[in-house]
Amino acid sequence: MLVLPEEAIDITFDCFRQGIYFLIEKGEVVYIGRSKNVMHRVMQHRHHYNQKMQGSSAEEASRPAIKFSRVAFIHEPSQNRRIALEAALIVTYQPKYNQKFLGASLEKFDARALLERIGLARQDE
């Protein structure tokens, strides 16, 4: 069962705030990102996926097309906290499309301590 941080909410189409977003497919977090405008960034992901599926995406051909059916979001106005939180969540969830921090251990990065300090530790650990 997918357990997201308590602050994570499903995204709505009027969500143009800054924060961390989770792209989710079949109950699995497949990508975690951060943005100053989450909705715009999510729409870029969707457009890229649609273009790749139509076979017409020459731009960024090496970037994977991420299939997702759900988006969750944590509002975070602080850029420094967004950077740290994104890294900690990637280490914790290990999404298959995130290249940064994949393979990093919680001990090496101490992601769990960071998440606990800002109140976003996963409850199932």
Structural domains in the chain plus CATH codes:
9-117 (3.40.1440.10)
pLDDT at residue 6 greater than cutoff 50: yes
What is the spatial order of strands in the sheet that 19-25 belongs to?
Answer: 9-10, 70-75, 19-25, 28-35
| pTM score over 0.75 | no
Question: For residue range 93-125, what is the model confidence (pLDDT) as tens digits?
Answer: 889 998 765 555 555 556 666 666 655 555 444
The rounded distance, in Å, linking the Cα atoms of 9 and 30 is 16
Q: Which amino acid makes up residue 101?
A: F
Cα of first residue to Cα of last residue in the chain, in angstroms, is 13
Question: For residue range 71-91, what is the model confidence (pLDDT) as tens digits?
Answer: 888 888 888 888 888 988 888
Compute CA distances 78 → 27, 62, 75, whole Å.
28, 31, 9
pLDDT > 70: what percent of the chain? 65
Helices (H), the chain: 38-53, 79-93, 106-109, 111-117
Compute CA distances 106 → 38, 101, 115, 123, whole Å.
26, 10, 11, 15
Residue with the two structure tokens 């189409």: 13
